[in-house]
Structure 1
Amino acid sequence: MTVPQPRWRTSTRSGDTGGACVEVADNLPGVVLVRDSKDRSGPTLTFAPAAWRGFVAGAALAPSRHTG
């Protein structure tokens, strides 16, 4: 049996941040994984897909703190 591997991606909106970003793997059944792109071997957060969608929706409503 083949175990699926996470396919990590960064947001197209991350721009030129010098790697200061998070990576998300949402190709696995029943989980969404999130990690720091600067520490790929570090800890990984695990979300249920519905919880991740709620987090992203809430983040989209928050005022932007981007100053660049």
Structure 2
Amino acid sequence: MKIFKKHTFEWWEVSFLKIGLGSLGVLLGLYFREALMSVMWLWWAILIVTVFYFGGRMLKE
């Protein structure tokens, strides 16, 4: 039995996965609201770094 076999996902499967993970993030955020608010600076930092990274990559191409 091969545990690590190659598999290519279709675009709609990746979209479905992203929607599912996004909804999981929203649900966890609602449930752990107080705990997550104490590290709001971290979420802003992650967002800013991500935007600059992908923005820079898009401008290069």
Structure of larger gyration radius: 2
Give the TM-score of the pair, scaled to structure 2: 0.29
Give the TM-score of the pair, scaled to structure 1: 0.27
Which structure has greater strand proportion? 1
Which structure has greater helix proportion? 2
Task: Using CA pairs under 8 Å that are at least 6 residues apart, name the structure with larger relative contact order, 1 or 2.
Answer: 1
